[in-house]
């Protein structure tokens, strides 16, 4: 109960503050919150959600999953081979350092302006944190654990799925979390460049036609979406890494 009050108090105060302060707003750019909320209801109907939000989400999901698959796969290969790692490291650091949005123009050259382009942009942007974190995680696997597994005859695929992946799990999850926010950014950016539907496209359309309350409602929707996705990620992470949380908890109690 106490926690619920803590969690809700400030948001309620902020929301009420925004409502009251903006109520009589004459400013063109900062319309009253009540107008924004009305616009929200009018703009984001079920049909609009299906036409604009669903395609965005599908691209996001496809790009993100593909990036996770490639990142973890390549990361395992590079992390397990010392020489390959030494060869690839500077190249990977360079690619990670390129700000992902500048890839949009490049990928537009190759893939045109369709859905493929947007998915490739997302994959290309979010594969690096996943890849590099997997490499780090695989590298940091406890040598004693590896030796023990070997002497118990755990080799081949079982070695990877039962020993290496779980122990690199927390680090891989950290990479996946970074990649999620990059994926959302790239989804929006790629749609701002060239698209006929999607959340980024629609919000820019509102801004260009000076439909300010609608634009605000789009920003709020993007915020809600980002929040919902990160919440879902945390739930999934908690399930996947339950053993790790438990371990840390018991270590903390012992220490």
Partner 1 sequence: MTSARRRSPARLDHPALLGVAGLAGLLLIVQLLPTLGLVDDRFLPPTSAIVSALADEAGTGQFWISLKDTLVAWGWGLLIAVSAGVLAGFGIGSVPLLRNLTASTVEFLRPIPSVALIPLAVLLYGTEIGSSLLLICYAAFWQVLVQVLYGVADVDPVAYETARSYRFSAAARVRHVLWPTALPYVFTGVRLAASVALILAITAELVIGSPGLGKDIAVAQASEAVPTMYALIVVTGILGVLINLLARTGERRLLAWHQSVRGEVPA
| Binding stretches for partner 1 (CB under 8 A) | 3, 6-11, 14, 29, 82-83, 86-91, 93-106, 108-110, 181, 184-185, 188-189, 192-193, 200, 203-204, 206-207, 212, 215, 218-219, 222-223, 226-227, 229-230
The answer to whether the CB of 72 falls within 8 A of the CB of 136 is no
CB nearer partner 1, residue 114 or residue 158:
114
Check if the beta carbon of residue 195 is closer than 8 Å to that of residue 201. yes
CA distance 170 to 242: 10
Q: Minimum distance from CB of 56 to partner 1 (Å)?
A: 12
**Residue 152 or 254 having the CB closest to partner 1:** 254
164 versus 229: smaller Cβ distance to partner 1: 229
Please report how close the Cβ of residue 109 comes to partner 1 at its closest, in angstroms: 5
Burial of 203 (0-12, 13-18, 19+ CB in 10 A): buried
What DSSP designation does 28 have? S
Residues 199/225, Cβ–Cβ less than 8 Å = yes
Min separation Cβ 184 and partner 1, Å = 5
Instruction: Give residue 98's region: left, alpha or beta (phi > 0; psi -120 to 50).
Output: beta
Q: Could you tell me the smallest distance in angstroms from the CB atom of residue 244 to partner 1?
A: 17
Q: Residue 172 or residue 199: which is nearer to partner 1 going by CB? A: 199
Give the shortest CB-160-to-partner 1 separation in angstroms: 21
Decide whether 72 or 187 has the Cβ nearer to partner 1. 187
End-to-end Cα, the chain, rounded Å? 30
Helices (H) and strands (E) in the chain, counts: 13, 0
């Amino acid at each position: 109960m106490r926690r619920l009050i803590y969690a809700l108090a400030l948001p309620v105060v902020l929301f009420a503050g925004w409502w009251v302060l903006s109520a009589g707003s004459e400013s063109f750019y900062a319309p009253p919150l009540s107008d924004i909320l009305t616009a929200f209801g009018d703009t984001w109907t079920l049909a609009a959600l299906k036409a604009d939000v669903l395609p965005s989400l599908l691209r996001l999901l496809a790009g993100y999953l593909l990036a996770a698959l490639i990142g973890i796969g390549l990361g395992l290969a590079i992390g397990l081979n010392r020489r390959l790692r030494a060869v690839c490291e500077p190249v990977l650091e360079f690619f990670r350092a390129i700000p992902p949005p500048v890839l949009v123009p490049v990928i537009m050259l190759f893939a045109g302006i369709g859905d493929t382009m947007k998915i490739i942009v997302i994959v290309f942007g979010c594969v690096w944190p996943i890849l590099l974190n997997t490499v780090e995680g695989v590298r940091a696997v406890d040598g004693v654990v590896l030796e023990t597994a070997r002497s118990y005859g755990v080799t081949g695929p079982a070695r990877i799925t039962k020993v290496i992946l779980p122990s690199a799990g927390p680090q891989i999850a950290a990479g996946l979390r970074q990649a999620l926010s990059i994926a959302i950014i790239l989804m929006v950016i790629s749609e701002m460049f060239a698209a006929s539907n999607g959340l980024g496209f629609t919000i820019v359309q509102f801004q260009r036609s000076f439909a300010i309350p609608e634009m605000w409602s789009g920003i709020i929707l993007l915020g809600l979406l980002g929040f919902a996705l990160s919440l879902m990620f945390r739930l999934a992470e908690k399930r996947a890494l339950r053993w790790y949380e438990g371990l840390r908890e018991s270590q903390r109690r012992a220490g």
